Amino acid sequence: MKKQIPCFSSENEEREFWEVHDSTDFVNWSKAERIILSNLKPSVKKISLRLPESMIEELRLLANKRDVPYQTLMKMFLADRIEKEIRSH
């Protein structure tokens, strides 16, 4: 039987508690389920990416057909490919 998580009166109190306690004593992580929090905005990091001009133009054309900005389309393509790669391994 796992230990009971105490009630906290503030975030600071909870933070201090978890700094010195292991969550495996309180939560059965083997029964955890992955969920998607669709309303959360992921933090973003700006990067510099060098692409051939012809590739950017093709991306712009494809993005125009879908009525989305080309950088958004690039993110969609990357996310799709990353998901496929993760599933295949």
**Token pair for 88:** 């295949």
The pLDDT value recorded for residue 55 is 96
Contact 70, 60 (CB under 8 A): yes
Domain boundaries, the chain: 1-32, 47-89
The pLDDT value recorded for residue 36 is 83
Q: Is the pTM of this model over 0.85?
A: no
Helix (H, G, I), strand (E, B) or coil at 32: coil
Helix (H, G, I), strand (E, B) or coil at 46: coil
The pLDDT value recorded for residue 1 is 60
Mean pLDDT by runs of 10 across the 89 residues of the chain is 88 94 89 84 88 97 96 96 93
